[in-house]
Structure formats: C-alpha cells, structure tokens
Structure 1
Amino acid sequence: MKAVSAGCLEIHYHEVGPEHGDPVIMLHGFPYDAHAYDAVSADLAGRGFRCLVPYLRGYGPTRFLSSETMRSGQQAALGADLLAFMDALGIKRALLGGYDWGGRAACIVAALWPERVRGLVSCGQGYNIQDIANARQPAPPVKEARYWYMYYFHTERGRFGLTQNRHDLCRYIWSLWSPSWRFDDATWAATALSFENPDFVEIVLHSYRHRFGGISGDPSYDEIEERLSAQPDISVPCIVLQGRDDGVDPPVEQDSDRAHYTGFYERRIIDGAGHNLPQEAPEAFAAAMVKLAGAQ
C-alpha cells in the first residue's frame, strides 16, 4: 500500500509491476474496492506493466485532507481525483481501465484530457458519462426497477439503511449484480473493510442524489460539469467489456455507446461475468488492456 497527496485527497493505492513499466491505472466502482484488480494487476505486472489501483474517495484508507471539503460523490469530482492522482505521481500518459464509478472517472479523463490517455478499457456502460441535464427522463420500467437502490439512497430511510446495514446491503448488491459469481467469505471480507471509511455514506448518498439533478454539487467542479453536460466524445482507443450476466446494466443488442467514440473501438460481451467484471473475468480485462497497449 502506498499513499500520495493529490488534489483534496490523500489517495491510498496498490502498485505492482516494474517502476518504469508502462503505467496502467485501474479504478473500482460501488460497492467494491481496489481488490477488484488483484488478479488483473498480477497478470499485467508479469507482462511488464506498472499497475496502479487507487481507492476512490470515500473508500478504504483514502482520506480528505481537510474537514472543510464538501464530501461530493459527483462525476466531476471522480474525474478530477483521477487527474490529480496522475499529476501527483508525475504520470503524463497512461492506459486507463474501470467500471461503475471508476469507469466514469476514466471516461471523463479520456474525454476531457485525451492527451493523458493511451487507451481505455470501460466496463458495463461503455460511455459512462452521466447526462445529468436529462436525468429526470424516465427509463423503461424494467430498467427503473434495477435502479431501486438509487431511489432508496434519495431517502432518509436509505441513509439510515446504508449507515446501519452497509455490509448486508452491499453484499446483497453483489449477489444481484453478479448472479453467476461465486465469491467466498474471504473475498467479501477483504473488500468490506473499505466501506468503514468515515466518508463512505455521505459520498455514496451525494453521488446518487446529484446524478438525478436533485442536489447541488461542489462549486469547485462546476467548470468540469459544464464541459460534461455537452456529452463529449472520446477519441482515445477503447475496448468496452460487458458481462452477459450483469444484473444492473445488462448488455443489449444495439450498441448505443458506439456513437460517442471517434477512434478505435471494440465491444466484447463476456460470458459468465456480471457487473464486477475485472474481478470475475480478470483474463478478459487483462487481454483487453494488452491489446490496447500493443495498438499504439
């Protein structure tokens, strides 16, 4: 475990692989943590890559530097954290990979600062930048039903539920979103520790309330949010991975994300994997990253 001061955070992260290897930054989502990439990192490090896997704000040992900083979980904050992490480590350009919240951070940096990104592996939602201006438009009922947890977190009952029952709630979400993943108690316990972060509840609640336009974000990220409201295209090479068994964001036949990518693009649907794709199918994730590295 290492740590670095980056922007408003002290970001803790795992690093494996040769110090001068090609940098690969991989980011987890909710409700997971950096352990999602243990197997991927071991694979890529063995191939000579320098793998860096940070804990997002509100997770694990990552902490805010000031008690005065707003505990925002908005998308712009996640993107800014990733850029600050790269700056703090002196990484001018890297391969990025992520899913869920982490995939959003990676997509944001790829879209707004493409000169910093060699390639992108995006899991689940391939184009993972929120269209907050249109967030109040309802989705088909079957999709709305899968978003029950988002609506739950809009309520004070949801706040108390996440505070008091975070472990049971998050483990239940794991089982719903990855129905074919047979994780053991040790795997769960290694990640569950990350939900004890003192800012976990506030960050999660803000993330899901902000994305629907119901509450304000941190004003320091207004400029980034304004740029994201244009739904910018992504020009860097990208491979999208989608788990066929994803219980919250299952792949569909029509690839509507393709229109947002102006460079090399490929979509792969992975059998036997759900939402936590890097941990469920590490070989597929590592293979996608290797292909992007070789395509430079």
Structure 2
Amino acid sequence: MKNISTEDLDIGYDVYGTPSERVPLILLHGFPDDASAWREVGRLLAAGGHYAIAPYVRGCGPTAFKAETSPRSGRASARSRDLIGLMDTLGIEKAVFIGQDWGAATAQAMAFLNPLRAEQLVILNGHGLLNMGVFAQGRLPSWETFHAGWYQWLFQSPAAKSILEADRAGFIRFVWTKWSPGWRFSEADLAGVVRSAQNPDWIDVVLSAYRGQEDPAADGRDSNADAVLAQLPPITCPTLNLQGANDGVDLHVDTQLGQEGYYHGPLASEVLDECGHFLHRERPDAVANRILAFLA
C-alpha cells in the first residue's frame, strides 16, 4: 500500500503494474468494502499490461481527513473532488475509471463533472446517480428493489449512527450475505473490510452518502458540483456496464430502467451469471477479461 497527501486527505491506495504510455486505470471500490476488493482484478489487469491504482475512499481504512473541521461528506461530488486531488498530486491528467457500487457513482460523477479527464468508464452495478434521474421521470423500480434498499431508509433515522456503532461488523456480514447470495466469501476478506470500517469517520461518511439534500455534512465547496449532478448531463466517453445476475440489492432489471439515455457515447452492457453484487470479488477472472477486451 502507498500513501499520498492532498489538500484535504491522506489517501491510502494500492498499486498494480507499472506506469506506461497507456492511460492509467483507477479502481474505485464500493460500500461496504475497501480497496482490497480489486486485488485479483488488479493483478489480472496488470498482467494484461495496464497500470492501475485503487484508492481507499474517504473515511475508509487508512484514508484520513487532515483537519478535524472538514465536513465528513460522503456525497459523490466530494468523492470526485478527492479523486481530482489524487490525480493532480500523482500527475495523472486522464484515466479510465472502473467503479463498483459507490465507485460506480463516483466514476459517473467524474464523467459528468470532469469529462476531459475521463478516457473510458467501466461501471459495475451502475446505480445511484442515474437511478435518481430515472425515478424522477416517474419510472419507478419494483417493490423488490424498495425492499432491498431497507438500509437506506434506516440511514435516515436518528438511530442509524448508534446501530452502526454497536455492530458494524454484523452489518457488513449481513449485507455481503444478502447482496451476493451463494458467495462463499473468506473470513479473512471480511475481517479486512471490517478493519477498514473502524476508521473513526467511516460511519459519518456512510450516513452522509445516503442523506441527499438534507445532509448536514454536505461540504459547501461542492454546491456547484451538486447542482451539475442534479441535472445529469450526458456521459460521452465509451462505457462498459457490468451487472451481477444474482445481485440482491441492485436488481439488474431495475438498474437498467431507462439509464441508456444518459449515455451519448458507446455503451456496452452485460449481465454476468453466477454472481451477485460483489461480482469483481466473486468472478474476478470474468470481470477482468471483460475489462481487458473493452480496453483493447
């Protein structure tokens, strides 16, 4: 693991491969997870000749705020600002953004807010930003999707913080089991993510990520970016969208509900069998092969 300091954060990140003339890849993890999710995919991408970095999102693992007064925002606008700081500090002008879950929303936000810095996108379990736009048009998801999103309603409640403080390990185990049914994850992998969730800012960032316009942790520096994201400008760079057939939280039928209209560049979509929400952990070979073919 390496570390780098930006204006707001000390960011931990993993590295795969060595820099080359190819555009670097930035692997963005989701929730509840950490950068270790990309371990196998990252190695395969490096074996394919690519250079990739996988940062830990704000409030997760080794990534820490430098100032106690910094708002602990978990919004996509804040996460994309962190990414710009990381890229600028590392001297990366343009990247391929490969994101899952929260990381997918961050990758989409980068394409919306900073299109000149997004070479291509790979979206795993694409949801969040585009779903809100689709739902705003009156195209509602199924009752199954509402049921699967129970935790988002919980996170709006005053009891949410104390519940997560009492048993964040149990929460992570429960949702891994429900979101990827049939996946026999290793206890070591789970324990690593639980350790990352011990970051003192993890809960505040998590709750902020789900509290929308009523979020008291929103950072005023992101207000303009939030306004742009609310308009959902088109994504023009080539995009690959991968979904798990057995995803227990982002049901792939609902997550494709009219999202194609937001992509004005080439879009390829595929549903992978025999995996759920954490498809890059469950079927790293299949995910890496799809990414390598797309990049080629």
Matched residue of 1:239: which SS? strand
**Relative to structure 1, is the Cα distance of residues 21 and 172 closer, same or farther in structure 2, using a 3 angstrom cutoff?**
farther
Other-structure match for 1:199? 201
Q: Distance in 1 between matches of 2:127 and 2:73?
A: 23
| Letter aligned with residue 11 of structure 1 | I
Q: Distance in 2 between matches of 1:126 and 1:236?
A: 18
Q: Distance in 2 between matches of 1:78 and 1:262?
A: 24
**TM-score normalised to the size of structure 2?**
0.92
| Letter aligned with residue 200 of structure 2 | P
Q: Distance in 1 between matches of 2:127 and 2:197?
A: 26
Q: Distance in 2 between matches of 1:252 and 1:292?
A: 22
| Letter aligned with residue 42 of structure 1 | R
Residue 291 of structure 2 corresponds to residue 285 of structure 1: no
Spell out, residue by residue over 1:85-141, the C-alpha distance to the aligned partner (whole angstroms, 9 max, x if none).
Answer: 111111111111011111111111122222212211001126744648977x87543
Other-structure match for 2:77? 76
Q: Distance in 2 between matches of 1:236 and 1:287?
A: 20
Matched residue of 1:39: which SS? helix
Q: Distance in 2 between matches of 1:267 and 1:200?
A: 32
Shift of the alpha carbon at 1:14?
Answer: 0.3
Kept in 2, the 8 Å contact 1:21–1:50? The answer is no
Shift of the alpha carbon at 1:49?
Answer: 0.9
Shift of the alpha carbon at 1:275?
Answer: 0.8
Other-structure match for 1:188? 190
**TM-score normalised to the size of structure 1?**
0.92
Residue 265 of structure 2 corresponds to residue 272 of structure 1: no
Residue 46 of structure 2 corresponds to residue 45 of structure 1: yes
Q: Unaligned 5+ residue runs, structure 1?
A: none
Shift of the alpha carbon at 1:206?
Answer: 1.1
Other-structure match for 2:166? 164
Deviates more, 1:183-192 or 1:231-240: 183-192
Residue 203 of structure 2 corresponds to residue 209 of structure 1: no
Q: Distance in 2 between matches of 1:30 and 1:48?
A: 28
Shift of the alpha carbon at 1:20?
Answer: 2.5
Task: Map 1:132-147 onto structure 2 (within 5 A).
Answer: 139-147=141-149
Kept in 2, the 8 Å contact 1:127–1:260? The answer is no
Spell out, residue by residue over 1:27-66, the C-alpha distance to the aligned partner (whole angstroms, 9 max, x if none).
Answer: 1111000111000011011122111000000100000111
Shift of the alpha carbon at 1:21?
Answer: 5.7
Other-structure match for 2:59? 58
**Relative to structure 1, is the Cα distance of residues 158 and 255 closer, same or farther in structure 2, using a 3 angstrom cutoff?**
closer
Residue 97 of structure 2 corresponds to residue 101 of structure 1: no
Matched residue of 1:60: which SS? coil
Matched residue of 1:10: which SS? strand
Q: Distance in 2 between matches of 1:169 and 1:9?
A: 26
Matched residue of 1:203: which SS? helix
Deviates more, 1:6-15 or 1:58-67: 6-15
Q: Distance in 1 between matches of 2:257 and 2:156?
A: 30
Matched residue of 2:3: which SS? strand
Other-structure match for 2:177? 175
Deviates more, 1:19-28 or 1:168-177: 19-28
Shift of the alpha carbon at 1:2?
Answer: 0.6
Other-structure match for 2:235? 234
Kept in 1, the 8 Å contact 2:179–2:247? The answer is yes
Shift of the alpha carbon at 1:79?
Answer: 1.4
Q: Distance in 1 between matches of 2:286 and 2:228?
A: 32
| Letter aligned with residue 181 of structure 2 | P
| Letter aligned with residue 109 of structure 2 | I
| Letter aligned with residue 294 of structure 2 | L
Q: Distance in 2 between matches of 1:106 and 1:293?
A: 16
**Relative to structure 1, is the Cα distance of residues 58 and 260 closer, same or farther in structure 2, using a 3 angstrom cutoff?**
same
| Letter aligned with residue 224 of structure 2 | E
Spell out, residue by residue over 1:147-194, the C-alpha distance to the aligned partner (whole angstroms, 9 max, x if none).
Answer: 111111112222111011000011100001000211121121122210
Aligned length: 292
Q: Distance in 2 between matches of 1:91 and 1:129?
A: 27
